[in-house]
Amino acid sequence: MIFGFLNIDKPRGMTSHDVVNHIRRVMRTRQVGHAGTLDPMATGVLVVCVGAATRLSDYVMSDTKAYRAIVRLGVETDTYDADGKVVVEADASTVSRQQVEDALAGFRGDILQTPPAFSAIKRGGKKLYELARQGKAVELPPRPVSIFSLEVVEWQPSQVTLNVVCSAGTYIRSIAHDLGAALGVGAHLTGLTRTASGDFQLARATPLDTLIASQDASAYVIAPAAALRHYPRVTLEAAETDDLRHGRRIPAGSLLPNGADDAGGSVVMAFDRNNRLIAVCALRDGGLHPSKVFAETPDDSAVEDGPAEQETDSR
């Protein structure tokens, strides 16, 4: 049984669901899903959950994201990226790097951001991009997001390349669009690479073609113990493992991990002595309460962060 995650370097021009379909064929299982959509134009880190790890997508999807984004000034599109129709054009040749730097200051920190009309957010059971293609405009309220870092790394007239570190749920297309609005010339995203999603780094991502061509695709699977290592964890004895697998609360006692907030209901990952994930637990009232329990799985302790050769295969 395959139980873990893949760190895939998504190619341009393919949807996240296309990647999932390829991996379903390679892994010979329908139990595959992605954690955090990338638009077809985007490349880079796409976290893919395989087997029972599909039940853990929320725990890797909520991590901080990092991107390299290329923004063209002077042209606004309906989708906020290069795949859309041009709706406004303006002369951006006089915009200076300093003006861009000054405008970016308003996007850092905790901000309210309005998602693009062409997005996968659902309203009334339909995705917004489906409604937008039908000409049905949907007014979306702005949502809180956090921009931890937003820096200019390359500049030439009418084009700026940015490094962005942000919270999950941030739309880089909206940053591009809103930057153009702040400068008064319009803008859209022409290139986007996700360089990190939590602990999943582009430097260690596997190109999809490499995975497809591999004789043993399971060798690229990253174990839950490695993928979830930023969560507090406990190691259980056999009796405690049996209790959690049967849905019974166990006393935290000396198991209580450093940094876990008993009063706040912290998420704690419970492993057995063979480093196999037994349950996701809520820590409260001095006990570990199982919220997701996993059946017995093969020993995954040998897989720490994917094969070492992934670093040289990255692109």
Dihedral (CA of 74, 80, 81, 82) sign: negative
State the DSSP code for 11.
P
- The letter for the amino acid at 272 is D
Distance CA 280, CA 92 (A): 52
Give the dihedral of Cα atoms 75, 81, 83, 85; nearest 10 deg: -40
Upper half-sphere CA count for residue 224 (Cβ side, 13 Å): 31
At 213, is the secondary structure helix, strand, or coil? helix
Residues that are catalytic: 39
Distance CA 200, CA 35 (A): 11
State the DSSP code for 224.
H
Q: Kindly give the pairing relationship between strand 43-50 and strand 187-197.
A: parallel
User: Is residue 36 within 8 Å of 47, Cβ to Cβ?
Assistant: yes
User: Is residue 288 within 8 Å of 252, Cβ to Cβ?
Assistant: yes
CA of 88: how far to CAs of 77, 171, 180, 184, in Å? 7, 20, 11, 11
